[in-house]
Amino acid sequence: MQGSRLTVRGNSREEYLCYCSLLKDEQYVEIVYEKYPGLRRYLKELEVVQLYSWRELLGRLVNDWDQIKAYFQMEPDTRIRDIRRSGSDFHCRGRSVVIVETDRNKEILYKPHSLENEIFLQGLLADIHTDLGMGAFRYLELERGGYGWVEKVVWQECTVGKGRWHMPINCSMRLLENSVTGDMWASMQRSCADISAGTGIWI
């Protein structure tokens, strides 16, 4: 600390921890609000959006739970142990991807948008793998009309055939880019990270 408890000089972690501790001080928070009058209103609006998003998620989870257990091959008496944000960015009007963990250590992802393009891209890549004489892992996706549930796949580095298949797969993706509309290609690119993680293919 230097001179005032509102300032600190240290490494990034120390500065961050100091800032977090200051936010527990109501007097300091009021100082910030006075300096940035629009901040209080923005944070209040953000709070309302987050409460709505979580209420929406929980309602969908309750309504879909039996279907989720059947589709993702869970035991009938499976229970939910934890629900947490995945750390991804906010999108779809303040929503974000959420991880649902069961008491059997299985995790599924809640995605607050349609899975239509992701499902299409995964099928397309499966066709490309078939043409290349390769096998392809397909993770489970449950489309629910405007949102969906996805099997959480742990990414592992692909060590088999990486150099051999990198060029033909990239060529196939470039050909694909020229054959779809700009909006679809942008959406498919957003799905590509999930596909790469699911298949272990280096794209």
Alpha-carbon distance of 112 to 84, in angstroms, equals 14
Find out whether 104 and 74 touch, Cβ atoms under 8 Å.
yes
* Positive/negative CA dihedral, 90, 91, 95, 99: negative
Q: At what angle do helices 182-199 and 162-177 cross, to 10 degrees?
A: 160
pLDDT recorded at residue 160: 52
Range of weakest confidence among 24-28, 87-91, 152-156, 185-189: 185-189
Q: pLDDT band at 198, cuts 50/70/90?
A: very low
Instruction: Using pLDDT thresholds of 50, 70 and 90, give the confidence band for residue 123.
Output: confident
Q: What is the pLDDT of residue 183?
A: 56
- Which is nearest to 90 in space by CA: 130, 46, 129, 124? 46
Tell me the average pLDDT across 46-50. 89
Task: Read off the pLDDT of each residue in 96-115 and give the average, rounded to a whole number.
Answer: 93
DSSP designation for 100: E
User: Cα(114)–Cα(187) distance, rounded to whole angstroms?
Assistant: 11
What lies within 8 Å, CB to CB, of 57 at 6+ separation is 83, 98, 110, 112
